[in-house]
Structure 1
Amino acid sequence: MNDNKMLDGLLMNRRRWMQRSGATLAGALGATSLSALMPATAHAQAGGYRALVCLFLYGGNDGFNMVVPRDASRHAQYAGVRGTRLTLPRSSLMEMGADYGLHPAMSALAPVWADNGLAPVFNVGPLAVPLTKAQYRSRTRPQPENLFSHSDQQLLWEAGGPSVISRTGWGGRAAATISGNGQPVISVGGNGRFGLSALEVPLVLPGPGGTFGVQGLTGTWTPTVARRSALNALYAASHTNVMLNSFAAQQRGAFDMAENLGSLVAVQPDSSNGTAVVPGLALINAAFQPITSGNRINTGLGRQLYQIAKLVAARDTVQGNRKIFFAQQGGYDTHGDQVGASAEVGQHANLLKQLADAMACFYNAMQAIGMGNSVTLFTQSDFGRTFKPNNSSGTDHAWGNNQLVMGGAVNGGATYGAYPELVLGGPDDVGQHAWELHGRWIPTSSVDQYAATLLRWFGASEGQLNTVLPNLSNFTNRNLGFMSV
């Protein structure tokens, strides 16, 4: 058989393998990423390991009911616009110093704040250049494309670039540029632009208990063993055709990956062999106990962060000293019925409670396994929401938003960025005429500045930051200060 015919046969074999694999390994990873995840480098050591966890809140979180001013004068301004339905009473807020408080549904994060492991970053959003209200109104400086659109603003946050047509994400570019091994972003929250680089797609893993492997090629049944051995021999052969050799190497990488990560992915809180697969699993399980019932983590976000906690603990198996993870929580498009009988309960409160509970469990798990200073979690979201409520007890699409950063390396116990003036039609509101006074805040910090602060801690040089974040050179302040470097 000549090389071309053999290549045709291999490609057909690969298509059949991918079809049978469903949403497991073949559907989870693009071909260029297969060999990248398992580099032939030394195993990760705790002292040099650093990980970023991007937590995207899809739909546009109402960040100005997540972080609320507590001082009397500004809280009065806040209440005057938000009205009786959306206003959180000062006494209900989880205190973050004298000036600000978190939504009461996020009380699980109070010990994290007290431990200086949490920092809010105010009024962040996509910007090509710094922008004042006058410049926005006159269109004299470049502006982000398609403002107030879910899909477009999600892409701008995930891409960290000037245009919604950017093909790659800043997480993927950072992984390719900084990790040193071309390792893909690992996603437990599905596919997204954030993890794409020029040559890699994210490695998408299922939740705890999920199957990650090549279906039909695992187990000890004699025909299965024979088939696996035949394929291993086929992919181990050397050929003069460069494409054929590359394809075979990718297939070998896929088999190795399935063997290395399959058992790790499957571990749940009561897995009988879990402690043999995940170092420190008992400590992780104890940290996640508040949101665990039997062998199952109770919330989708909790399951994602539990999976990431296991991957950090088993970093020698996963390999690589610089890892970027992606998780997500949806449901934040609260146009109507954002609250229940009061702002302290209802749809938004339920989402924030799930968010805070899962984040607190993850923080405690990282502290318990000695990786608290090595892992930083940060939030992103489509956009903030209008400060002025709509007529349906909800809020609409806006721009600048508040975000949270959490971890042992965070300069916590403090706030960062500039909180907007809570005045409809004021200097931070895009609106000027009566019909457009809704409180859509112009960001005072850009996505690029936010990402650069995280990536500098991650290990990026100034030159690498310019490569990963194309707008960063337009901003004088390249470090928002919330990370210890």
Structure 2
Amino acid sequence: MSTTNISRRRFLKSSAAVAAGVGITGVAPSFAAPSAGNQSNIKNQKALVFIMLDGGNDSYNMLVPYSQHHYAEYNKTRSNLALKHPKLLALDGFKDKDNRTFALHPSMPEVQDLFAKKKLSFISNIGLLVEPVTKESFKNNSAKLPLGLMSHSDQFKHWQSARPNERINQGWFGFMADSIQPNPKLNQIPMGISLAGRNIMQDGVGSTSYAITEKGSVGLVVKPSRRQSSDMRELNRIILKNFEALLNYKYDNDPFKQTYLSLTRKAQSLHEKFRDSIKSVRVPGRFSGSPLSQQLKMVAQSIKAADELGTPQQTFFIRYMGWDHHDELLDNQQRMLRVLSRGLGEFQASLDQMGLTEQVVTMTGSDFGRTLTSNGNGTDHGWGGNVMVMGGPVDGGKVFGRYPDLTLGSSNSLDVGNGVLIPTTSTDVAYAELAMWFGVQKNELGKLFPNLHKFHDLSSGSLPLGLIKQA
């Protein structure tokens, strides 16, 4: 039978994903952001892509000190988890204020190349903060700390909400969508497109994400074939006719059924819009077969189809799971960083070939960094860590923030025990700069990130990090 396979579970999931704001409480921050109404050319097109390394990436084995003195410090602290110096991939052309040079995990040659081409930078020792924290304020319990510090579920949510002192179900991508796309039409694809189902980051008060898979949108499609018999074509016609009749049925005396049907109708409408918009879009370059690479290929295809989709400004959320390496850290990270590096390299190469280099910024995040100390064969939950930011707008080939000393104990002002490092750069600072690039006015950032003023003077003439190149 020549019909696409549509599972009930996947269709219901797609239907639920378009329930924009149903059951959501809260107050959206009102801030100035550019209208998407008349932006239809590539110069106005922008996309933010966020890849969540779900589980807590041991990022001090991703970005490693390379200069001899600093590597020796790393090697002593990391003990049996330390990577061998000759195998590291050197990052040439950059030294920090401590004259420290850096290298990458051996599984990341594509990231090394992107760094050399100044299309990728790192932010070091970044993490969730409510306010600046010192070792003393942490130890005497006077510091305001993120709720559920070192808890997977809490920190995973806080990275998306940018409100670590609250437990809310909305995120900063969603709040931006509330302003940029306030009254979408029935078949308007949301600004937020998710490859990970419903998520907090892209949920606002009136906005939510549109969930797709690496193969595209999910919905009912009846596909006739030239080889079908007349009976089979008739069966397909009847299936489609009855489905359309179902969508148009009115449950006048049952508001619950009518609401559910409305959501289903909207899901099918969005599916048809998305399917028709991307069906003729082809992206150049080769993408490997990993789920991450295939998801990034679909992201590239969706960005290329932005005009057809009617969403010149887009956000994307990807969830790469499995980074909670309490055990077998070295083997697991070697395999997973290889997938990540390859996927980033393929994605950026495709964007470059399509002329979209300057329109897209990609950032990685993770629940938290991990302990510098070994638990025997892995590491435990930590706090500050390292992330990557990639794209043409990025001031590439640098390590932003402050890469910490990797000694342990009293000699390290950031170590609160077992190599758990207090972050020296707040996620708010990085997010604020990305939001400004996306179009949020500088004087409105405090509404989007209520804790930002504790880490950056919003009245100053400087950028929070300098991560994005000045126009």
| 1:226 paired residue number | 241
Aligned with 2:174: secondary structure? helix
The more displaced of 322-331 and 166-175 is: 166-175
| 2:77 paired residue number | 81
| 2:227 paired residue number | none
Aligned mate of 1:92, from 74, 88, 105: 88
Shift in Å, 1:397: 0.5
Could you tell me whether the CA contact under 8 Å between 1:429 and 1:441 is conserved in 2?
yes
CA 428–61 in structure 1, closer or farther in 2 if over 3 Å, else same = farther
| 1:469 paired residue number | 449
* Matching residue's letter, 2:134: T
CA 372–23 in structure 1, closer or farther in 2 if over 3 Å, else same = farther
CA 40–405 in structure 1, closer or farther in 2 if over 3 Å, else same = closer
Separation in 1, partners of 2:12, 2:338: 30
| 1:422 paired residue number | 406
Aligned mate of 2:290, from 299, 306, 309: 299
Shift in Å, 1:226: 3.4
Shift in Å, 1:145: 1.5
Could you tell me whether the CA contact under 8 Å between 1:32 and 1:250 is conserved in 2?
no
Q: What's the TM-score once normalised by structure 1's chain length?
A: 0.79
* Matching residue's letter, 1:376: V
Shift in Å, 1:45: 1.8
| 2:390 paired residue number | 406
Separation in 2, partners of 1:66, 1:409: 23
* Matching residue's letter, 1:129: E
Query: 1:335-357: CA deviations, max 9, x gaps?
Result: 11112xxxxxx211111010000
Shift in Å, 1:377: 0.4
Shift in Å, 1:114: 2.1
Shift in Å, 1:43: 6.3
RMSD: 3.1
Shift in Å, 1:234: 6.1
Shift in Å, 1:368: 0.6
Could you tell me whether the CA contact under 8 Å between 1:181 and 1:320 is conserved in 2?
no
* Alignment map for 1:55-204 (pairs within 5 Å): 55-89=51-85, 92-98=88-94, 99-178=101-180, 183-204=190-211
Separation in 2, partners of 1:244, 1:59: 38
* Alignment map for 1:273-288 (pairs within 5 Å): 277-278=280-281, 281-283=282-284, 286-288=285-287
Aligned with 1:194: secondary structure? coil
In the alignment, is residue 397 of structure 1 matched against residue 386 of structure 2? Answer: no
* Matching residue's letter, 1:355: L
Could you tell me whether the CA contact under 8 Å between 2:18 and 2:266 is conserved in 1?
no
Separation in 1, partners of 2:219, 2:405: 52
In the alignment, is residue 366 of structure 1 matched against residue 373 of structure 2? Answer: no
Could you tell me whether the CA contact under 8 Å between 1:28 and 1:205 is conserved in 2?
no
Could you tell me whether the CA contact under 8 Å between 1:148 and 1:397 is conserved in 2?
yes
| 1:327 paired residue number | 318
Shift in Å, 1:363: 0.3
The more displaced of 314-323 and 243-252 is: 243-252
Shift in Å, 1:463: 4.0
Aligned mate of 1:440, from 381, 395, 420: 420
CA 172–205 in structure 1, closer or farther in 2 if over 3 Å, else same = same
Query: 1:310-369: CA deviations, max 9, x gaps?
Result: 101111222222111001211111111112xxxxxx211111010000000000011010
| 2:97 paired residue number | none
Aligned mate of 2:340, from 349, 355, 360: 355
| 1:9 paired residue number | none
* Matching residue's letter, 1:451: Y
CA 334–164 in structure 1, closer or farther in 2 if over 3 Å, else same = farther
* Matching residue's letter, 1:372: T
CA 24–263 in structure 1, closer or farther in 2 if over 3 Å, else same = farther
Aligned with 1:386: secondary structure? coil
Separation in 2, partners of 1:375, 1:160: 21
Separation in 2, partners of 1:122, 1:21: 39
* Matching residue's letter, 1:442: I
Could you tell me whether the CA contact under 8 Å between 2:40 and 2:307 is conserved in 1?
yes
Aligned mate of 2:300, from 299, 309, 316: 309
Aligned with 1:130: secondary structure? coil
Separation in 1, partners of 2:137, 2:431: 24
Aligned with 1:327: secondary structure? strand
| Structure 2 portions without partners, runs of 5+ | 1-5, 23-34, 95-100, 185-189, 225-232, 459-463
Query: 1:213-259: CA deviations, max 9, x gaps?
Result: 246x7767332453466467668xxx9xx999999986664443221
In the alignment, is residue 261 of structure 1 matched against residue 274 of structure 2? Answer: yes
| 1:384 paired residue number | 369
CA 18–365 in structure 1, closer or farther in 2 if over 3 Å, else same = closer
Could you tell me whether the CA contact under 8 Å between 1:86 and 1:389 is conserved in 2?
no
CA 115–302 in structure 1, closer or farther in 2 if over 3 Å, else same = same
Separation in 2, partners of 1:455, 1:287: 30
Could you tell me whether the CA contact under 8 Å between 1:122 and 1:402 is conserved in 2?
yes
Aligned with 2:400: secondary structure? coil
CA 419–253 in structure 1, closer or farther in 2 if over 3 Å, else same = same
| 1:206 paired residue number | 213
Could you tell me whether the CA contact under 8 Å between 2:39 and 2:45 is conserved in 1?
no
Separation in 2, partners of 1:363, 1:322: 18
* Matching residue's letter, 2:193: I
* Matching residue's letter, 1:318: L
Say which structure is richer in helix: 1
Could you tell me whether the CA contact under 8 Å between 1:178 and 1:459 is conserved in 2?
no
Aligned with 1:460: secondary structure? coil
Separation in 1, partners of 2:427, 2:9: 40
CA 234–406 in structure 1, closer or farther in 2 if over 3 Å, else same = same
Separation in 2, partners of 1:24, 1:63: 33
* Matching residue's letter, 1:375: V
CA 23–358 in structure 1, closer or farther in 2 if over 3 Å, else same = farther
| Structure 1 portions without partners, runs of 5+ | 1-16, 34-38, 266-273, 292-297, 340-345
CA 47–350 in structure 1, closer or farther in 2 if over 3 Å, else same = same
